[in-house]
Amino acid sequence: MAAELIAIGKIVGHFGYKGEVKIIPLTDFPERFKSLKQVHINYKGQISTKAVEAVKNHGQGWLLKLSGIDDKETADQYRGSLLQVDETEVYPLPEGSYYHFQLQGLKVFDKQRGFLGELTDIIETGANDVYVVESASYKEILIPAIKQVIVSIDLQAKTMLVDLLPGIIDDEG
C-alpha cells in the first residue's frame, strides 16, 4: 500500500519574478521547511514531485524555490496548491502522541462492551480532542481523548482500547 500524502503547507502566491512561491505552513513544525529536499505538489488533484532548490523564512510563512517553477507566471498557477510529504516523512511525535491521520480508521474496543466501532473523525476542542466513533450498535459515540478513558492505542493492529466513563453511552438506549 502506498504511503498517504500529508499536507504541510499551502501555496498562497508568488514572490519576485524568478518563480519563488509563498507558503503558509499547515504543520506544527514549520522549521521542517529548512531541511526539505523534495515535496509533492497537489495541484487541482494532480500530484507532481519537485526538488526544493532554496528556502527562506518570510514573515509568518516561507519562500520556496522549486524545480521547474522558474518565473512568476508559473509560480502563480500553483496558487492554492498543497505541499505534501509522504506520511513516512512526518516529524516524529513524543510517545503517546499521534497525528490525526494515524488514528482515523482505528477499530475502537471498550473494556466492558467490546467492539464499539470505527474512529471516523476527531473534533479539536480547547481542552482535549474528542474522538468520533461510528457504531452499528450505538448512535455516534463521542469519546474524550483523555488518559482516564484511552487505555491503549496499537497503530500496528489498528486498534484503540478505551474504558468509557459512565454516561458516554446510554446502555438503556
pLDDT tens sequence across 10-53: 999 999 999 999 999 988 888 889 989 999 999 988 999 999 99
- The whole domain housing 58 covers 5-89
pTM for this predicted structure: 0.66
> Average of pLDDT values for 93-120?
90
**Does any domain span residue 121?**
yes
Q: How many CB atoms are closer than 10 A to CB 141? A: 20
What local confidence, expressed as pLDDT, does residue 162 receive? 96
Whether residue 157 is contained in a domain is answered as yes
List pLDDT tens digits, range 63-105. 999 999 999 999 999 999 999 998 888 878 888 888 888 899 9
Verify that 18 and 37 share a domain, yes or no. Answer: yes
Q: Specify if 171 maps to a domain.
A: no
Residue 38 shares a structural domain with residue 110: no
23 and 83: one domain? yes
One domain for residues 41 and 81: yes
